[in-house]
Structure 1
Amino acid sequence: MNHSVLDVLMYLFETFSEQEHEEATDQDVLRQELLRAGFGEPEVDRALDWLEDLNRDPDRPFPSAPTERSLRLFSSLELSRLDAACRGYLIYLEHIGILSPLNREIVIDRLMALGAGEIDVEQVKWVTLMVLFSQTGQEGAFARMEDLVFEENTGLVN
């Protein structure tokens, strides 16, 4: 099967997010479970590396954390991978208070680390959910984001 790193991460999130922290963080157990589930070894290894990077010291990747008054300019690489809809969605999440400027930077960092081509809004939603889940003190933002991820896209009938 041809799975992406995000497919592996979504499987992990959906399968292990309710389990005890110790049980869900044993990388050997996770690795074996993912291989048994049919994911390829390269994708599993990249997904576990992605998670390890997510759980590192949050101050390390962004020594000069953005403030509320910071203006975010996207790099050429970010512009090539995050279309206007993705960038707009990130701004929307920050505007409604789900993402802080620092968490926005972590989400962008983790999106870029997926290694895939162009990123879509669904991927932004899932990565945001995973980032918020990993951050202490973000339970309210996580719950709001979870509603956005799992809400049905139903159209209005006139």
Structure 2
Amino acid sequence: MFEVLTFVYENYDPGESCPEAAHLERKLTAVGFESDEIGEALTWLKGLEGAAHPSPLQPWLIQPQANSMRIYPRHEQSHLGTQALGFLSFLEHAAQMPAQLREVVIERAMAAPGGPVSLEELKIIVLMVYWRFGQEPDTLVLDELCGDPADRVAH
């Protein structure tokens, strides 16, 4: 699923430019992705679309308090894992993840199959949330999200 999401991120502009599900499914099949991966990714993207346009039944996505403290219940802790939780904390403390986007990232990470979510998978989820909301992360954060830490040179 995450390879499909990466392909979508790299090949479609943020926001509304991603084609409808049926057209996207045909494109992904033509590129060579497996049908089960495509199905999982399309379901996940549909959930992301729902998070981008929350209903009144999701007040936590509409107006989270900016100064509130996020407490992770056990099921979120076990599904997200310590590395993912640490990375979310890093983004929040660096003022790169507003409360609303944090909640969308958590909701979409919880919707990801398997678990715990690896750090690399969480980074793809964060990129997809920024992408869907039409926001460009800070250059250093983008480097952290996309760059391979093994390629970095210490100064």
TM over 0.5: yes
Name the Cα RMSD after superposition.
2.4
Deviation at 1:38, TM superposition (A): 2.3
The two structures have a TM-score, normalised by structure 1, of: 0.81
- Map of 1:127 onto structure 2: 125
Deviation of 1:91 (Å) = 1.0
Aligned to 1:68: 66
Q: Hey, which of these two has a bigger chunk of helix by percent?
A: 2
Q: Say whether the 8 Å CA contact 2:80–2:116 is kept in structure 1.
A: yes
TM-fit CA distance, 1:128: 0.6
Distance (Å, rounded) in 2 between the aligned partners of 1:47 and 1:28: 13
Separation of aligned partners in 1, 2:49 and 2:7: 18
The CA deviation string for residues 72-128 of structure 1, in whole angstroms up to 9 with x for no partner, is: 111222111222221111011011111111110100111111112211111111111
| Aligned partner of residue 7 in structure 2, secondary structure | helix
> Structure 2: 5+ residue runs without aligned partners?
none
For 1:149, give the aligned amino acid. L
Written as runs of structure 1 = structure 2, the 5 A alignment for 1:37-56 is: 37-56=31-50
Aligned with 1:16 (options 1, 5, 12): 12
Secondary structure of the 1:147 match is: helix
- Is 2:151 the partner of 1:151? no
Give the gaps of 5 or more residues in structure 1: none
User: How many Å separate the matches in 2 of 1:119 and 1:152?
Assistant: 18
Instruction: Give the conservation status (yes or no) of the 8 Å contact 2:80–2:115.
Output: no
Percentage of identical aligned residues: 28
The yes-or-no answer on 1:88 pairing with 2:83 is: no
1:6 aligns with 2:8: no
SS at match of 2:143: helix
State whether structure 2 residue 57 is matched by structure 1 residue 59: no
Between stretches 116-125 and 97-106, larger displacement belongs to: 116-125
1:92 and 1:76 map into 2 onto residues whose CA distance is: 20
In structure 2, distance between residues paired with 1:48 and 1:143: 28
Q: How many residues align?
A: 149
Farther off after superposition, 101-110 or 115-124: 115-124
Matched, 1:36 2:34: no
Relative CO higher for 1 or 2, CA cutoff 8 Å, sep ≥ 6? 2
Mapped to 2, the partners of 1:13 and 1:54 lie a distance apart of 13
Q: Mark the CA change 1:84 to 1:147 in structure 2 (over 3 Å): closer, same or farther.
A: same
Task: Name the CA shift for 1:151/1:42 in 2 (closer, same or farther; >3 Å).
Answer: closer
Give the Cα–Cα distance (whole angstroms) in 2 for the partners of residues 144 and 155 of structure 1: 15
Distance 2:7 2:148 in 1: 20
